[in-house]
């Protein structure tokens, strides 16, 4: 909003109209009563260029001071300004009255005493006197009043028009013009209408004034042009003989008409200035409106360019495997983006031409403003917008050029970066697939593979990318790829160094020995009996056994240094495995700590978690499960035990470190049950991550702040990976243990860990049971699982059992029931489910034994049915399997029977008040502490309850397998 006028710009118009108002502020209506009393009148006669004012002889009405003042104030305003400046000639007629009647008037004015009319005529011209004073003027008072009223109505109309015009100009002065084109057009239209109304009113008043002149002259047919020709510059009437009183009325009308001309001239001048500024303001508003439209389109184009797929995240995902098809797809996506960018560029060029035209129009407005001195605004509004248009054009062109440049560079580098990324993925997979190899041939083979793999990196010549000046975000992407290359290369070099050390340590020095005299010159092969299969031993020729006898004789004849050297190397390898166990445990604990402190704690920080959706906050316990409990166990118990064992072994070399490690695993076996809940919850955790968390800025920022190369889901997989690594380390430790007792202890620890993993595997498979009408957690913990078991169901009729049918079922033995299920395998083991078919309650089982002394099967006897079960062998002896199943089912029967008896006894004793009172007294006197017999920890561990999760797939392949499947159909196999 702005004003078009300065404060003193319209002062001239106001003063002129105010003067016209003062000249036309006469009113005959206020003195019409006094005029009718004929106390005084003015006929229009002139003497010595002065108007004649006559006080008539009317002795019946007294002329008071108030009447005199009011009457004289009006009558002296009737003549024009020039006539008033010459003064007045007063005639006081008191012929029929005494001298005292004129004393009041005589005291205020100069008095010339005339005793007769002839003396009066000597002072005044007879033509300027009324007939009652012996003059020639036929003065008719009533006609004079009517004509005077008519002329004053004309003057009053001029006065009202003058007031309206003052208000109009004042409104134009005070108005603030809006910033929209529509409102400016509306104001211009309204003011134009008011201008037309003013012109029509002025024309009406002018017509009225001319008509009044015609009436006074008694020439109703005379036109307005003829009237103007009868008026000279001195306002004298020519070619017409008028009485002085009529001449006075004519002069009054002419004065009014002159005032109208002055008002018309002022209005014309003001309207010319006002319309010029209104039109300029309208053009300026059109300029601003076009500027806003172009600005909006520029912003829209800029946003569309910015919203094109991001080069870092959408086009080249360096953290995932990419094939040639992927690269081709990326190139096609880049081509599509370039097509979109070209379309945006064409639209941009069109808008740039419009912006250039608008800038030129703005420059023309500035030049017009400088020419029009009456226009004093707009320069401060136009020039900044012109500069902003130039900046927007420049910024948009630079953004398009930069985007096109980056896309073309990306298209050039995508092949090389894709091959580099493939190399990193192959290296990662190679390191992950390699197990702990300590034998000579396997270590040498792994070393050759890694060295050949590292040579591929030098062939790629990736250093040329480092020296290429590339803009963001492509530069950031290249830096990320090189960081990953350096990480993989460092890991491979460290692994190569370890393998070289192992290869050097496993080669024994060759001693020079002399052949026996009777030894024949025969060719033979050295065979390591510790690794040769039985089938190969049966194919060895007879001369090999002879060589073995000679070789053993040579070993016995050598000194004891080689034996000592061998024992030292065995102990060194065992300590290397222990060191690896301790170091990897420290790394594992540190990784869990960073996850808990870096991610979990920030979930409770309102300032950081307010960007998270509510569904993620509500499922925090599902996403992380019991990870804090696992961390607390490893950080405060297990890792400290391992560190203490390692430190004690350094101080006391006689202590068996293998036995101490085995005791640690056996002592903490109940604590490892924490992994049961974590494994059960893993599928739901991955579902929450894939569905809501993957790619969210909250987790990405934390990952960058922690310096993690992998996202959170990779660290949430660490506990599953770690629980499967312990049995591998124990196997390697057993392999390099010399003492028999120590080896037995380690085998016991290995047995414990394998049982834990087997239990976890059974639990995972149990979660895939479908069709069971109740919740699985009501059945208690799972004890056994049999796969592809042949079951023959027989119905009892008296003492005879009749076989009803034989089927293949998978068996799940829980604490309270046995479930018989049918396996449904859809997709070659990737979509595995178990359809519930039958249930056997443990409490309904009467006998579980071998049928008719057939130890390859076992039988479950119920009241009316009998189930003969033949288990499928998975490498274990069938007799041992059946024995283990029978013992487990009997233990479940005993446990359920005792539990049922306890509940019955509790219900019976709860009815006896005396027993309850005695129990309360005993409880007040003695407090019994119960501890878990399997654990030496002071904290008792509650039993792990089964959680019914919707795990998509579990399979078993003659090995213990934990399989997790996410919604993206990615399957993770962890074998041991």
Residues 658 and 627 reside in one and the same domain: yes
Least confident among 162-166, 553-557, 733-737 = 553-557
Average pLDDT of the residues of the chain: 73
Tokens 């190397």, residue located: 569
What residues pair up with 785 in beta bridges, in sequence order?
A: 812
Q: For residue range 59-75, list pLDDT tens digits in order.
A: 667 767 677 777 777 78
Q: Which long-range contacts (CB under 8 A, 24 or more apart) does 21-25 make?
A: 21/159, 21/162, 21/163, 23/81, 23/255, 23/259, 24/155, 24/156, 24/158, 24/159, 24/162, 24/256, 24/259, 25/159
**Quick check: 264 and 64 in contact, CB under 8 A?**
no
Report the b/e string of 35-65 with b at 16+ CB within 10 A: beeebbbbbbbbeeebbbbbbbebeeeebee
Residue 348 CB-density burial (10 A; 0-12 exposed, 13-18 middle, 19+ buried): buried
**Quick check: 869 and 859 in contact, CB under 8 A?**
yes
Report residue 580 as tokens: 């690896």
Torsion sign (Cα): 698, 704, 710, 714: negative
Report residue 742 as tokens: 């120590």
Q: Which long-range contacts (CB under 8 A, 24 or more apart) does 615-621 make?
A: 615/692, 616/688, 616/692, 616/693, 616/696, 619/688, 619/692
Contacts (Cβ under 8 Å, ≥6 apart) of 469: none
Higher pLDDT, 700 or 912: 700
Sheet containing 50-55: which strands, arranged edge to edge?
Answer: 41-47, 50-55, 89-92
CATH number of the domain bearing residue 788: 2.30.29.30
State mean pLDDT over 551-576: 59
Least confident among 286-290, 440-444, 677-681, 875-879 = 440-444
Higher pLDDT, 110 or 483: 483
Number of domains in the chain: 5
Domain that includes residue 382, residue range: 286-409
pLDDT at 108 over 70: no
Residues 781 and 902 reside in one and the same domain: yes
Contacts (Cβ under 8 Å, ≥6 apart) of 128: 43, 45, 46, 47, 52, 135, 137, 244
Grade residue 340 by pLDDT with cuts at 50, 70 and 90. confident
C-alpha 152/C-alpha 145 separation (Å) is 10
C-alpha 731/C-alpha 580 separation (Å) is 13
Least confident among 165-174, 400-409, 921-930 = 921-930
Tokens 């985007």, residue located: 403
pLDDT of residue 228: 44
**Quick check: 468 and 405 in contact, CB under 8 A?**
no
Residues 610 and 751 reside in one and the same domain: yes
Tokens 């993957």, residue located: 694
C-alpha 368/C-alpha 388 separation (Å) is 21
Tell me how crowded residue 689 is: count the other CB atoms within 10 A of its CB.
Answer: 22
Residues 678 and 586 reside in one and the same domain: yes
C-alpha 574/C-alpha 732 separation (Å) is 8
C-alpha 724/C-alpha 964 separation (Å) is 14
619: region left, alpha or beta (phi > 0 left; psi from -120 to 50 alpha) = alpha
847 belongs to a structural domain? yes
559 belongs to a structural domain? no
Q: Which runs of E-coded beta strand occur in 596-678?
A: none
pLDDT at 360 over 90: no
900 belongs to a structural domain? yes
Last residue of a domain, one of 104, 139, 174: 139
Instruction: Give phi and psi for 789, each to the nearest 5.
Output: -90, 140
960 belongs to a structural domain? no
pLDDT of residue 336: 84
CATH number of the domain bearing residue 318: 1.20.58
603 belongs to a structural domain? yes
pLDDT at 500 over 90: no
pLDDT at 621 over 60: yes
pLDDT of residue 234: 41
Residues 743 and 622 reside in one and the same domain: yes
Last residue of a domain, one of 139, 171, 200: 139
CA 429 to chain centroid, in Å, comes to: 36
Instruction: Give phi and psi for 784, each to the nearest 5.
Output: -145, 160
What residues pair up with 42 in beta bridges, in sequence order?
A: 53
C-alpha 950/C-alpha 962 separation (Å) is 15
Higher pLDDT, 203 or 873: 203
Tokens 């310096």, residue located: 707
C-alpha 750/C-alpha 495 separation (Å) is 26
Kindly give the residue spans of alpha helices, DSSP state H, lying in 61-140: 65-75, 81-86, 103-106, 117-123
Instruction: Give phi and psi for 739, each to the nearest 5.
Output: -80, 135
Residues 837 and 901 reside in one and the same domain: yes
Query: Strands 782-797 and 800-814: what pairing?
Result: antiparallel
State mean pLDDT over 371-380: 61
C-alpha 717/C-alpha 685 separation (Å) is 10
**Quick check: 334 and 315 in contact, CB under 8 A?**
yes
- Can you state the angle between helices 244-306 and 324-371, rounded to 10 degrees? 160
Report residue 236 as tokens: 């004298």
Least confident among 155-159, 238-242, 311-315, 584-588 = 311-315
Integer Rg of the chain from CA: 60
Report residue 491 as tokens: 């890991």
Grade residue 472 by pLDDT with cuts at 50, 70 and 90. low
Grade residue 375 by pLDDT with cuts at 50, 70 and 90. low
Residue 306 CB-density burial (10 A; 0-12 exposed, 13-18 middle, 19+ buried): exposed
State mean pLDDT over 213-222: 57
pLDDT of residue 744: 92
Residue 85 CB-density burial (10 A; 0-12 exposed, 13-18 middle, 19+ buried): exposed
Residues 722 and 629 reside in one and the same domain: yes
**Quick check: 804 and 793 in contact, CB under 8 A?**
yes
Grade residue 638 by pLDDT with cuts at 50, 70 and 90. very high
256 belongs to a structural domain? no
Residues 575 and 443 reside in one and the same domain: no
C-alpha 133/C-alpha 139 separation (Å) is 11
Report residue 930 as tokens: 């119960």
959 belongs to a structural domain? no
pLDDT of residue 664: 94
253 belongs to a structural domain? no
Higher pLDDT, 660 or 153: 660
Residues 749 and 792 reside in one and the same domain: no
Tokens 């595995």, residue located: 832
Last residue of a domain, one of 761, 785, 807: 761
Residue 787, SS3?
A: strand
Kindly give the residue spans of alpha helices, DSSP state H, lying in 613-717: 614-618, 620-624, 627-633, 639-651, 657-667, 674-688, 697-706, 712-716
Pick from 173, 193, 195, 186: which is nearest to 2 by CA? 173
Least confident among 285-289, 664-668, 749-753 = 285-289
- The kind and range of the H/E element at 813 are strand 800-814
Residues 381 and 479 reside in one and the same domain: no
pLDDT at 300 over 80: yes
C-alpha 670/C-alpha 936 separation (Å) is 9
Sheet containing 858-861: which strands, arranged edge to edge?
Answer: 769-770, 831-841, 817-826, 800-814, 782-797, 865-870, 858-861, 847-849
Tally the residues of the chain. Answer: 976
**Quick check: 745 and 659 in contact, CB under 8 A?**
yes
Kindly give the residue spans of alpha helices, DSSP state H, lying in 689-777: 697-706, 712-716, 718-735, 740-766
C-alpha 835/C-alpha 847 separation (Å) is 27
C-alpha 145/C-alpha 165 separation (Å) is 30
C-alpha 151/C-alpha 250 separation (Å) is 9
Contacts (Cβ under 8 Å, ≥6 apart) of 858: 848, 849, 850, 851, 868, 869, 882, 885, 886
pLDDT at 577 over 80: yes
Residues 809 and 935 reside in one and the same domain: yes
Residues 588 and 714 reside in one and the same domain: yes
Residue 558, SS3?
A: coil
The model's pTM is 0.41
Tell me how crowded residue 758 is: count the other CB atoms within 10 A of its CB.
Answer: 14
State mean pLDDT over 415-438: 70
What residues pair up with 384 in beta bridges, in sequence order?
A: none
């Amino acid at each position: 909003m702005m004003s078009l006028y300065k404060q003193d710009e319209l002062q001239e118009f106001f003063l002129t109209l105010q003067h016209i108002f003062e000249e036309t502020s006469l009113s005959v209506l206020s003195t019409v009563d006094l005029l009718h009393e004929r106390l005084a009148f003015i006929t229009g006669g002139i003497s010595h260029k002065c108007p004649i004012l006559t006080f008539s002889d009317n002795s019946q009405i007294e002329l008071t001071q108030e009447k005199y003042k009011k009457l004289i104030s009006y009558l002296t305003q009737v003549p024009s300004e020039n006539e008033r400046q010459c003064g007045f000639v007063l005639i006081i007629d008191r012929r029929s009255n005494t001298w005292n009647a004129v004393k009041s008037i005589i005291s205020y004015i100069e008095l010339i005493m005339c005793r007769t009319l002839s003396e009066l005529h000597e002072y005044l011209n007879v033509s300027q006197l009324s007939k009652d004073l012996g003059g020639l003027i036929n003065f008719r008072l009533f006609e004079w009043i009517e004509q005077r009223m008519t002329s004053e109505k004309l003057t009053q109309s001029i006065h009202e028009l003058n007031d309206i015009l003052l208000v109009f100009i004042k409104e134009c002065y005070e108005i603030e013009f809006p910033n929209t084109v529509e409102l400016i057009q509306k104001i211009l239209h309204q003011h134009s209408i008011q201008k037309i109304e003013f012109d029509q009113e002025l024309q009406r008043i002018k017509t009225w004034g001319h008509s009044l002149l015609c009436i006074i002259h008694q020439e109703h047919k005379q036109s307005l042009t003829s009237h103007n020709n009868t008026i000279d510059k001195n306002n004298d009437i020519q070619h017409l003989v008028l009485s002085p009183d009529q001449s006075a009325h004519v002069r009054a009308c002419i004065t009014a008409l002159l005032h109208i001309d002055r008002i018309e001239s002022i209005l014309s001048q003001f309207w010319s200035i006002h319309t010029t500024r209104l039109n300029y303001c309208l053009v300026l508003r059109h300029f601003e409106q076009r500027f806003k439209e172009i600005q909006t389109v520029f912003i829209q184009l800029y946003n569309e360019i910015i919203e094109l797929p991001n080069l870092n995240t959408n086009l080249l995902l360096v953290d995932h495997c990419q094939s040639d098809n992927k690269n081709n797809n990326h190139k096609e996506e880049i081509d599509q983006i370039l097509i979109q960018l070209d379309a945006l560029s064409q639209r941009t060029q069109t808008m740039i031409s419009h912006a250039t035209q608008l800038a030129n129009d703005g420059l023309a407005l500035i030049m017009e403003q400088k020419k029009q001195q009456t226009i004093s605004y707009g320069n401060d509004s136009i020039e900044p917008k012109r500069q902003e248009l130039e900046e927007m054009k420049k910024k948009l062109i630079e953004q398009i050029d930069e985007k096109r440049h980056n896309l073309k560079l990306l298209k050039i580098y995508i092949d090389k970066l894709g091959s580099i990324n493939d190399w990193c993925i192959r290296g990662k997979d190679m390191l992950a697939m390699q197990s702990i190899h300590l034998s000579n041939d396997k270590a040498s083979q792994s070393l050759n593979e890694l060295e050949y793999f590292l040579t591929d990196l030098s062939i790629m010549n990736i250093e040329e990318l480092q020296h290429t000046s590339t803009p963001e975000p492509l530069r950031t992407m290249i830096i990320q790829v090189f960081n990953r290359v350096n990480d993989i290369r460092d890991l491979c070099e460290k692994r190569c160094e370890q393998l070289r050390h192992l290869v050097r340590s496993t080669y024994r020095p060759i001693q020079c020995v002399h052949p026996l005299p009777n030894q024949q010159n025969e060719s033979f092969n050295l065979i390591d009996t510790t690794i040769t299969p039985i089938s190969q031993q049966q194919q060895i020729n007879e001369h090999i056994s002879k060589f073995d006898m000679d070789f053993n004789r040579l070993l016995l004849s050598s000194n004891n240094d080689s034996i000592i050297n061998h024992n030292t190397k065995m102990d060194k390898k065992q300590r290397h495995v222990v060191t690896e166990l301790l170091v990897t445990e420290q790394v594992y604990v540190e990784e869990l700590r960073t996850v808990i402190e870096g991610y979990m704690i920030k979930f409770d920080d309102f300032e950081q978690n307010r960007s998270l959706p509510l569904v993620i906050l509500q499922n925090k316990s599902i996403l992380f499960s019991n990870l804090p409990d696992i961390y607390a166990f490893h950080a405060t118990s297990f890792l400290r035990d391992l560190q203490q064992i390692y430190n004690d072994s350094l101080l006391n070399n006689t202590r068996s470190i293998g036995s101490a490690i085995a005791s640690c695993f056996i002592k903490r076996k109940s604590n490892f049950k924490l992994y049961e809940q974590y494994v059960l919850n893993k599928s739901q955790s991955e579902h929450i991550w894939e569905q809501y968390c993957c790619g969210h800025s909250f987790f990405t920022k934390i990952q960058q702040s922690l310096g993690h190369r992998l996202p959170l889901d990779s660290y949430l997989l660490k506990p599953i990976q770690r629980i499967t690594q312990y049995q591998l380390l124990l196997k390697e430790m057993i392999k390099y243990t010399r003492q028999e007792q120590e080896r037995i202890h380690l085998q016991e620890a290995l047995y414990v860990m394998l049982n834990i993993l087997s239990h976890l595997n059974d639990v995972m498979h149990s979660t895939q049971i479908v069709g069971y009408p109740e919740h699985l957690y009501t059945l208690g913990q799972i004890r056994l699982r049999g796969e592809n078991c042949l079951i023959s169901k027989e119905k009892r009729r008296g003492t005879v059992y009749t076989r009803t049918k034989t089927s293949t079922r998978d068996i799940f033995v829980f604490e309270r029931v046995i479930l018989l299920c049918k396996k449904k395998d859809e997709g070659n083991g990737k979509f595995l489910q178990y359809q519930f078919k039958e249930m056997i309650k443990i409490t309904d089982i009467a006998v579980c034994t071998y049928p008719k002394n057939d130890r390859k099967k076992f039988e479950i006897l119920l009241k009316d049915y009998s189930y003969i079960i033949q288990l499928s062998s998975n490498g274990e002896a069938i007799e041992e399997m059946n024995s283990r199943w029978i013992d487990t089912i009997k233990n479940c029967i005993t446990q359920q029977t005792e539990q049922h008896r306890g509940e019955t006894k509790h219900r019976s004793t709860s009815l006896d008040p005396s027993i309850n009172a005695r129990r309360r007294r005993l409880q007040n006197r003695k407090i019994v502490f119960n501890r878990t017999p399997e654990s030496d920890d002071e904290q008792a561990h509650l039993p792990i309850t089964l959680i019914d999760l919707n795990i998509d797939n579990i399979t078993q392949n003659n090995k213990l397998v934990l399989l997790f499947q996410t919604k993206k159909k990615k399957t993770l196999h962890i074998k041991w």
